[in-house]
Amino acid sequence: MKVLMIGPDRSVHGGISAMVNNYYLAGLDKRIELKYIGTMKEGSKLKKLITAACAYVDYIISLHNYEIVHIHVASDNSFRRKSWFIRAAHRHHKRIIIHQHGGDFKNYHDKLVSPGTRNRMDAILNMADELLVLTPSWKDYFSHIVTSDRITVLPNGVIPPAQTVSSPAADDKRHRNILFLGRICVAKGVNELLDAVIALHDEYPDINLYLGGIFESRTEGDIALRSRIENAPDYVHYLGWIQDGDKNEYLRKCGILALPSHFEGFGLVLIEGMSYGNVVIGSDVGGIPETIDDGINGLLFVPGNIKDLTDKLRTVMTDRDLTERIIQNALKTVNDKYSMDVIVTQLLNIYQNTTRA
């Protein structure tokens, strides 16, 4: 099979790029003829515009050589940018797979655009021969736009480490180390996480919070959050964006991985945490509760509720039996549902069915 895949540049800090890189690490490009074109790089507006224009030229030149076009989209600017690529593929009668990743897509589609723009978005989505979504609830949502027989749930996946942390629940110190990975902004719930950790410090003086990610400055709140972190107590550690070996080191060092987002499409980082024997704690929004079975393979808290988040963090630090059960169940969840071997096999079947359609 010959697949032309479109998405943000593989160097971009974000979930889609991480997912695409996992496809390559899992050897997808060895099993099909795959070309990837990155449509966006981080930087100035001019850099982004030049990247998108060059990507579109490359795409048009390449299009006739490929049977299937697999396009990763989110919402707002991502959707507008990818709509040009989707229309071109439709004009050239290619088999089109739209892969929707946007955690805020519903809010954007239903509330933030005009009725005319919404109709154009729906028309573009209906150009897809197959619409891939991350969770069953997203399939339910998009079934109001695209017929459900053209929608398939394909979760994000990870490559589990060769060796997990041995007897992770027995190490109390590890569960005083809390890790956050992602874009550092108000919408990711980082303020609430800071409040919870500070509240727990008197009980657990050896507590540490590690923040791995890049700052966003979209709002005044994001700018204030950056200042807050830069002036935080010495048990709050800003790591910058970490990846590969450094990320693995912190996944092993920390016993808790927290994702307190206000909205979230899936939360790939939760699966990464599970695979390293972390207890994952996520807010009960978007696709997170479809990944975390509360009290079974992780813990959920009410989004924005600092007391609830604090209580869940305290539970992990004090209830060793529960922590051990959660870790073992989480490892099984990753192996059964979210390992890249499983995900790539499902994706190859989708390509085959799309080609035959």
Q: Give yes or no for a contact between 23 and 17, defined as CB atoms under 8 angstroms apart.
A: no
DSSP-assigned beta bridge partners for residue 294: 298
β-pairing, 130-133 with 68-73? unpaired
DSSP string, 146-159: S-GGGEEE----B-
b (16+ CB within 10 A) / e for 45-82:
eeebeebbeebbeebeeebeebebbbbbbbbeebbebb
Q: Is 136 helix (H, G, I), strand (E, B) or coil?
A: helix
Fold of domain 168-338: Rossmann fold (3.40.50)
> Residue 197 corresponds to which amino acid?
V
In sequence order, the 6+-apart residues with CB closer than 8 A to the CB of 316 are 175, 255, 256, 279, 281, 299, 322, 323
| Burial (0-12, 13-18, 19+ Cβ within 10 Å), 321 | exposed
In sequence order, the 6+-apart residues with CB closer than 8 A to the CB of 249 are none
Query: What integer pLDDT is reported at residue 15 of this predicted model?
Result: 82
β-pairing, 68-73 with 33-38? unpaired
CATH 3.40.50.2000 range(s) for the chain read 2-157+339-356, 168-338
User: Does domain 2-157+339-356 sit in CATH 3.40.50.2000?
Assistant: yes
List the chain pLDDT tens, one digit each, 357 residues: 999 999 999 999 888 998 999 999 999 999 999 999 999 998 899 999 999 999 999 999 999 999 999 999 988 888 999 999 999 999 999 999 999 998 889 989 999 999 999 999 999 999 999 999 999 999 999 999 999 999 999 999 999 887 655 545 456 689 999 999 999 999 999 999 999 999 999 999 999 999 999 998 878 999 999 999 999 999 999 999 887 789 999 999 999 999 999 988 888 899 999 999 999 999 999 889 999 999 999 999 999 999 999 999 999 999 999 999 999 999 999 999 999 999 999 999 999 998 776
Q: How many angstroms separate the CA atoms of 263 and 56, rounded? A: 30
Q: How many angstroms separate the CA atoms of 303 and 283, rounded? A: 5
Query: What integer pLDDT is reported at residue 336 of this predicted model?
Result: 92
DSSP-assigned beta bridge partners for residue 145: none
Query: What integer pLDDT is reported at residue 160 of this predicted model?
Result: 87
